[in-house]
Chains A and B, each alone.
Chain A
Amino acid sequence: MEEEVSPSESVSRFIMQKTYYRSSTQTVKYNAFMPNRDGESSVYRIIDLGDEEIFEIGRRFVADVMEKPKPLLGRADIVVSKVLKRDLKVKPYPNPHPRHANIVNWPEDKLKHKIIALQLAEEADLHLIG
């Protein structure tokens, strides 16, 4: 993988929660993109990968390693340029997988997290398994 994440690349946020998407409209909810307590949203770079390869990463490196493993339900894909547009950054963090990265640079003001996550969710594409 290139060290720098290109704005034209897409990244995937894997989803194990039914409440993170709207099945009626097949759209992503903002919760899926909210950062964790360390101010990071974990994503995977999916350039040059097919659907099944992407989901396999999600299963092996996200869903199956949860303390109480849950089935992988799908993923939210977003083009990196749309993340950068919100003054966020996508920083490669090749652990536990070479394609792993984090969306970082979330504002100190946590009230802004919701609105930014809403904007990211609006620009993301939902891909459900099956």
Chain B
Amino acid sequence: MEVLGHTKIMEDGFDTEYYPFFATKLGSSLITIEDHTYPTIFQRGSLQANYVSVGHEGIREDITTQIVSPATICNLAIRSPLSIPILDIIGIFEESVWAGTDDYSDESPLEIKMEPEKEEHYKTLIYKDIYNIYRECSVSDWDGYGAIAIPERAFNEAIQLLDLLPSNLPLPEVSPEPTGEIVFEWYKKKQHVFVISVGGKSTISYAGLFGKYSKTFGAEYFFEELPRIVVDNVLRLFN
């Protein structure tokens, strides 16, 4: 988790309190915010956001589209914490244009906290792990044995995979594979483990041990939907 900075928001002449929220600057990508009612969406290249102002009673007042910086995104989250409860959209940015129009560009930097208070924030912790793995393992030979660098498309696919995991599944542990893939692992106890991995090739490969004599392995096409076999095997492991 990279700390982007810190800020104090002044609104109507009063200091508003600090709100915990979650965002991560990810090199050319940014994990940012999802407002279930008014999604804040960032697109590669266009870098436009549907900028939503929310009035005192939570009523949507206007919508404008403009180029924004990470500071603006974070401030949006702070200013409208109730309408932006979950921060889990992945916005893809080109850093070079971050210097563009920014309503809040003259304010102090923002502090990004990683202290989820609500259950629905549970995946946020794994975002951080995925990013750290990507950052550490995006160069060749990161393990000392000639490992393949993890490509950005593998990172993006891992984030997509995490988003698609049903909330009733236990959280996986994330790790790198020397093949350049990112691994999600569910470990119950000795001889009871299930792993899946993605490498940005629209494929999930998986393997699992379910006791001394039962095992499974294979691969599934992965695009927008989580293969059923992943959920089935995780449930098999824990049930």
Contact = CB atoms under 8 A, between A and B. Distances in A.
B147 A36 contact: yes
Nearest to A16: B144
B141 A19 contact: no
Contact of B217 (A22, A41, A70, A115): A115
A60 to B, nearest CB: 12
Interface residues of A, number: 33
Interface in B17-41: none
Chain B CB within 10 Å, residue with most, of A19, A112, A122: A19
A78 interface: no
Given A19-B133, A29-B185, A67-B141, A34 B207 contact: no
A119 B183 CA distance: 16
B146 interface: yes
Interface string B40-68: 00000000000000000000000000000
Contacts of B176: 17, 19, 31
Contacts of B82: none
B205 A22 contact: no
Contacts, number: 83
Contacts of A41: 145
A18 to B, nearest CB: 9
A130 B117 CA distance: 35
Interface in B156-195: 173-179, 183, 185, 187, 190-191, 193, 195
B144 A38 contact: no
B205 A114 contact: yes
Contacts of A14: 144
B143 interface: yes
Interface string A21-61: 01001010111001111100110000000000000000000
A30 B145 contact: no
A20 B17 CA distance: 41
A68 interface: yes
Interface of A: 14, 16-17, 19-20, 22, 25, 27, 29-31, 34-38, 41-42, 62-63, 65-68, 70, 110-112, 114-115, 118-119, 122
30 contacts: A16-B143, A17-B142, A17-B176, A19-B133, A19-B174, A22-B187, A25-B187, A27-B187, A31-B175, A31-B183, A34-B178, A35-B178, A36-B145, A37-B146, A62-B144, A67-B139, A110-B179, A111-B207, A111-B219, A114-B195, A114-B207, A115-B208, A115-B215, A115-B217, A118-B193, A118-B195, A118-B215, A119-B215, A122-B191, A122-B193
